[in-house]
Every structure is written in C-alpha cells, then in structure tokens.
Structure 1
Amino acid sequence: MEVTLAPGGASRLDKALHEALSDQAPELSRARLQALMAEGAVTRDGQAVMAGSARAAPGLYLIEIPAPAPAEPQAQDIPLTILFEDAHLIVLDKPAGMAVHPGPGRTDGTLVNALLHHCAGSLSGVGGVARPGIVHRLDADTSGVMVAAKTDQAHQALSKLFAAHDIERAYIALVRGAPRPERGRVETRIGRSQHDRKKMAVLTNGGRVAITDYALEGVWGPQERPLAARVRCTLQTGRTHQIRVHMASLGCPVLGDPVYGSGAPAGAVREAMAEAGLGRQALHATVLGFVHPVTGERLRFESALPADMAALQQALTKKIA
C-alpha cells in the first residue's frame, strides 16, 4: 500500500498517515500503524521509519501489511519424538526451540501444529481452537517430557491431576554458581514483575504460591565457590517460569537464560557454553509421572539430556578442574 504525504500536513507521522489513508484503508488505526512501524513495515523512499511520533516528512511511503494469520492453527508434518501414545493421550519429548502453541509472532511450527497433523483429528478441544490438547506447557526454549490429551475426558482428568499437583515433574538445570544449602525447598509467591510485565518475579504480596525442591548433583570449580552446577529441581507447583525464577532468586540463574540470567558467568563457563553451542536456557524436563486418567495405570517417563546440554557438561568438565 502506497501513500504520498505532501508538505505542511499533520506534524506527527502516525497521525499524518492515518489521515491520508482514511479513505483508502479506514481499518488502519493509528495504533496499528504504530505497530507496523515498530516492525519495520513502513518505509519512506526505501528507508524504514520506526517512530510514529516523529515529524511527518513529505515523500512516498510504502506500508506492507502482512497477510492475516489463520484463525485456527494448521496441521503441519513436523517430526515428533513420541514416548507413549494410546487412544487417550500422547507423551512426547519436546525439543528446545519449539513453542507449545501459537502466539504473538509465532503462528506455525509449534507443538500444536505438529499434533494436529500427527493425531489427525483426534485431539482434545478443551484447550480451545488455539491450544487443542494442551494440558500444561514448557517454555519454547525448555526441552523435555510433555503430555497432551487426545480426548476431552483425558484432558479434564489430567487437568485435575495438575491442579492437585499430583504429577511427578523433575527438571535438570545447569546453573551459574551453586545453590546453598546443597538441598532444600524454595517456597515463595510468584507473579508478574511490577517493573517488567513480560517477566515473572518473587513477590511479597499477591501472585501465587510456588514450591520447588532442589538437589545439587554436581559442581564445576572450587567447592567453596563453584562456577557452575547441575541441579535437579522437582516441582510441587507449576507456575510460569517457576524454576528459572527460583534459581535466580537463589543467586544461581540457569545458564543461557536471556530473561532471568542477570550477571555474566565466569569466563571459563562462557567458553564452555560457546563450545557447546548453547543458544537457550539450560533447562530440561527430565521426568514426568502420573496415573493414566482412563486406565488407572501408573506411568513414568524419563528423557536424557539433549545434545546441547550434554555437550555443555562435557565442556565444563574439560575447561574447569
């Protein structure tokens, strides 16, 4: 879509474009134009203009409006590592980098897209059109074991198990430093950060109770001041980013965490991360156990460390005595 602004119009660019497009594209609000600018989708004479508050300069503006995203996720033939499957549910080992369901900025390539193809119409609709079958989530850059429901009956029963915390869930985290004491329980309240609404935080008031049991499984560096450690975390609750927030609250954030990993690790640790090619938080859901919601069978699944975290452990051992 093209529009030409003449000299002497509205002073703000977003206002000028909105007025100039009022007949051609009345559906484009100023807020939508601002969002398109922030995405680099508005150019003037071939150069991106990013700020709607900037003074409107005369010239030819090109506005690229992306095609609307489909209302419902589309089935995609994406390989899955399946640990268990029957008529009621499916347990799989999610790779790092795969989002669980579509969201802002990510409309495909998710676990939901893969499940829609694999299950071919047999997937619980309780989660809604955007999240069919999804009972719980892992962050996109957290790998490991997950369960999804194929029937509404299984979905509702699994949801009750998760709500009652009657699920065995253990994670392996590679962290900066090491927690003290070596074994313990972190019990806090977690909610949205008052300073950054995109982050979670430990709160004094509000939020929800969050409980993580942890145990130190190994350290790299001096015992009195380790540079990095392997920690097993067992969830007693399941809050958003719970382990990442709790480890950071202990002063040992998960290595590679772009959100909660404040402060750089030691040089040898950084070198090990680079050698291992770690491009995400070093967090892996290693155990998932529960009672089958239909058959009553006790199920328990384990997933070995993925290649990048295993390589990081080897690199840490090689570089740090």
Structure 2
Amino acid sequence: MMLKANVEKVRLDKYLVDALAESAEYSRSYIQTLIKDGNVIVNGNVETKQNFNLIGDVEIEINIPEVKASTINPEKIDLDIVYEDNDILVVNKPNNMVVHPGAGNTEGTMVNALLGRDAEFLSTIGGIERPGIVHRIDKQTTGLLIVAKNDKSHQVLTEMLKNHEIYKEYVALVWGEIKEDKGIIDAPIGRHQNDRKKMMVTSKNSKYAVTNFDVIKRLDKTTLVKCAIETGRTHQIRVHFNFIKHPIVNDPAYGKLAEKQTDFGQMLHAYKLEFLHPITKEMVKLKAELPKEFTDKILQEGGVENDWKTI
C-alpha cells in the first residue's frame, strides 16, 4: 500500500490512523505494531519509531504481512451467550475457564470455544492467539465478557474501554465486616516485588487504580459487596480488597492464609455491563446471575436469596 501527501508536522502513527480511518482493518495498535516491526517505509527509509514526525512531501509504503494460520484447536464447548448480534457477543464465562491460550493452557479456553462456534465471525485485531478478545477476566472469576465479531467493533470497544465508557459491575464476597456502607479504594497497583505472578498495592512501577464499592449485606463472617471499577488493572478488585484487610473469600492468591481453599476460586463475579453498542450506538444493559457455588456460600454465611436477587 502506498500513500503520498504533503503534510504539516504530524506523528507517523497519528497520520496513518487518520489516513486509514475508513478501513475497519487497521486499528491504532495494529498500525503501531506495523511501524515497530519495520513494515513502514517513509521516503525510501524504514521507520520504526511511531512518534517519527512527518513534514512536507512524504511517500509512505506500508507492507502488510501475511496473516499466519492459527495453531489453536477449535473445540465444541457449550457457552452461555447472554447477548449476540452481527457485531458483538457477550458471554457469561464459567468458572475455571481461561480466556485465551497461554503457557500451560492450550485447551479448554474461551478462544478454543469461540473458534469451535465459527472462526469466521471473530475480529483479528487481537492477533491469531486472541481472536475476538477485547478484554479478559481471571480464570476463576465468573461473569460477563464482551467478544468482538469484526475489527470495526473491536476497534471501537477498545477505545471505549480506554476511555472508561463501559460500565462494569462486579459482585464479591469478602472476609470480615465492612462497617462503611460504601467506599472508594484509591491505591496504585504494580507487580509484586517477591512473586511475579501476583500484583500488589505499591508506589513503585505502579499504575493508578480505583475501585468503588457498596455493601449489599453484612453476613456472619463476611460482607457481600458490589464493585464498579474505574480502571482495569490486573487482579484489581482482588488486590484492593486484600489491601483494606477484607480479602475475597476463597481467593487462592490473595485470600486468608488460614482459609481452606476449594477448586472454585475467588467469590468474584462480573455481574453487570452497560455500554453503547459500538456500531448501532444503542444502549446495551446486561446482567448474569451468580453461579450456584457463589449463592450456596452466601446462604452458608447466613444470607437469604433476596440478598443477591435485588442487586
């Protein structure tokens, strides 16, 4: 692909994003990757810096590499589809399902299951290992997950997530009695200094993170809360509640050390999503009921069914 133009001072990546804005195939992140990998030639020279400034007459050649075939095996796995149209679908992710393949998890993932439905309907922006995946939730966190069925919807959803335009609400069962009816946990999160698989509240190499919560019901030894996150840091809700000394029940990484763990994992559920549809711009409001293991634990803690039915 060849582009010729006379431009005022502008960044290379911004120019290409604007020049290719009408195409659903090229997201900002994809263009930045093309530049970094040496696939963009400016006036005869390979340019690998995305912030390279274009000035005056420019001739830009863009080499689009061939798409590699995916090595992920499609699998026939039943999924709980909460919403679906031509552009997106929303899945109620079950417990103990990894979202996309990685080291030690090459089968039984959400991506395997999505490919088993129809590989043709998934976006390609996330790469061959993550088709359709716009965001993720932890293996043992259950609940709502948005999947993009084409690159245009993926591109818009990514920007919406970046701009905090998708409302995500979680329900969690945490240890101890939270005395406040509501609160805000404003604490930066970064990689754990002693365990690289974990995160922690720290001022070193960390990112801004905010979790809002409301108490739903105080139970015998636990508190049922709903949380709305302003940021989407790795393990954010789990780390934040551990930080305020109310770790999530049954959390294998951040829970009470004396707690006897079960295979279900942390009692954390992505309960609600509200967002403008990326293509139609109509409001989408969705809920996913709590898993039985979660509701059983609430009942064991002295709760009743109405405690979560009224959320």
Which TM-score band applies after superposition, normalised by the shorter structure? 0.7 to 0.9
Partner residue in 1 for 2:297: 312
Partner residue in 2 for 1:289: 274
After TM superposition, where is structure 1 displaced by more than 4 Å over at least 4 residues in a row?
A: none
Structure 2 Cα separation of the partners of residues 119 and 302 of structure 1: 25
Shift of 1:122: 1.2
- Give the letter aligned to residue 255 of structure 1: V
- Give the letter aligned to residue 269 of structure 2: H
2:239 is matched with which residue: 234, 238, 245?
245
Structure 1 Cα separation of the partners of residues 108 and 234 of structure 2: 22
Partner residue in 1 for 2:255: 261
Structure 2 Cα separation of the partners of residues 262 and 281 of structure 1: 11
Partner residue in 1 for 2:229: 235
- Give the letter aligned to residue 242 of structure 1: Q
Per-residue CA deviation, residues 194-213 of structure 1 (Å, 9 max, x unaligned), is: 11111001012321111100
Q: Percent identity?
A: 40
RMSD (Å), alpha carbons = 1.8
Structure 2 Cα separation of the partners of residues 281 and 153 of structure 1: 34
Structure 2 Cα separation of the partners of residues 119 and 180 of structure 1: 49
| 1:151-170 to 2 correspondences below 5 Å | 151-170=150-169
Shift of 1:181: 2.5
Partner residue in 1 for 2:284: 299
Structure 2 Cα separation of the partners of residues 191 and 205 of structure 1: 7
Structure 1 Cα separation of the partners of residues 114 and 175 of structure 2: 35
Q: Which 5+ residue runs of structure 1 have no aligned equivalent? A: 1-69, 222-226
Partner residue in 1 for 2:89: 90
> Contact 2:189/2:201 (CA < 8 Å) preserved in 1?
yes
Tell me the SS of whatever aligns to 2:187.
Answer: strand
| 1:5-154 to 2 correspondences below 5 Å | 72-154=71-153
Structure 2 Cα separation of the partners of residues 75 and 290 of structure 1: 29
Aligned length: 236
Shift of 1:117: 1.6
Structure 2 Cα separation of the partners of residues 120 and 131 of structure 1: 11
Structure 2 Cα separation of the partners of residues 77 and 109 of structure 1: 9
> Contact 2:95/2:264 (CA < 8 Å) preserved in 1?
no
Shift of 1:262: 3.4
Q: Indicate how the Cα distance of structure 1 residues 278 and 73 shifts in structure 2: closer, same or farther if over 3 A, else same.
A: closer
Structure 2 Cα separation of the partners of residues 184 and 233 of structure 1: 10
> Contact 2:190/2:204 (CA < 8 Å) preserved in 1?
no
Per-residue CA deviation, residues 130-178 of structure 1 (Å, 9 max, x unaligned), is: 1111000010100001110010000010000000111110101011113
Structure 2 Cα separation of the partners of residues 177 and 314 of structure 1: 16
Per-residue CA deviation, residues 101-130 of structure 1 (Å, 9 max, x unaligned), is: 001101010000111121331100100111
Structure 2 Cα separation of the partners of residues 176 and 165 of structure 1: 29
Tell me the SS of whatever aligns to 2:111.
Answer: helix
Shift of 1:89: 0.7
Computing the radius of gyration from Cα coordinates, the structure with the larger value is 1
Q: Indicate how the Cα distance of structure 1 residues 278 and 309 shifts in structure 2: closer, same or farther if over 3 A, else same.
A: farther
Per-residue CA deviation, residues 31-65 of structure 1 (Å, 9 max, x unaligned), is: xxxxxxxxxxxxxxxxxxxxxxxxxxxxxxxxxxx
| 1:169-208 to 2 correspondences below 5 Å | 169-208=168-207
With structure 2 as the length reference, what TM-score do the two structures score? 0.73
Shift of 1:264: 2.7
